[in-house]
Amino acid sequence: MNYKTKLKIERWKKGPFVAYTILAVTGFMFLLQEILGGSTNQWVLVQLGAKVNQLIVLGEWYRLITPMFLHIGLTHILFNALIIYFLGIQLESVFGHWRFFALYFISGIVGNATSFAFNPSVSAGASTAIFGLFGSTLVLVKLFPGHPQIKAMAKNFTLLIVLNLVFGLFSPGIDMAGHIGGLAGGYLAAFALSTPRAWRTTKKQQLTYGLALIGVVALLIIIGYSRFIPVLNLFS
């Protein structure tokens, strides 16, 4: 391997390659949706892994993950992609590659589990994971108390969280359960994962939040099953 190749690999490792990979996979899935019949086509959404509560109850657990990579319409994916790009790059530099990877996926899973528990509609989108990224910015203030840049970032994203939640309340078709669940999931996950250079964190604190996170997901899945199994039994 020559020097230039090694240099490119080192730059890739130091760069936000997790955020870029998420964007690439999300973009690929959107193109696939369009090829198969359109991103707003419900049949395409269901076939590619949108959140469908009845199918999750029947054992298709992967639908707690796959909705993060599907979007409904061009505006939907562009808005989410911009947030992943600008916020994701910042957070990946703070949390590190694999913690950021875990944060994104855990947030999305908790958001989709919350949607499974409380929203009967078919849903898709990276918003569950993105709200988790929002939630993590609130935690950074506690991990780095007094840090001026992190304090400013958290203040800006607190306003963005409030605006998004208010907008969602008055917009039909918005999966508010998924958004709130993702926000809570990201908050808990950020404490559980912490950061490599956190000023204030302990292993006990990380374990406590990690166990709380597992408990929340388990409870949401139980609620989802209890709500939808009786419905399925009516048709069996």
Active centre residues (catalytic): 127, 179
Tell me how far apart the alpha carbons of residues 124 and 51 are, in angstroms, rounded to a whole number: 6
Q: How many CB atoms lie within 10 A of CB 16?
A: 20
Amino acid found at 47: Q
Burial 58-70 (b: 16+ CB within 10 A, else e): eeeeebbebbbbb
Instruction: Enumerate residues 6+ apart whose C-beta is below 8 A from 19.
Output: 84, 85, 88, 89, 92, 100
Among candidate residues 167, 166, 115, 161, the one with its CA nearest the CA of residue 136: 161
- Angle between the N-to-C axes of helices 176-193 and 97-118, in degrees from 0 to 180, rounded to the nearest 10: 150
Question: What contacts 171, CB < 8 A, 6 or more positions away?
Answer: none
Q: What CA–CA distances, in Å, run from 50 to 83, 175, 186?
A: 21, 13, 21
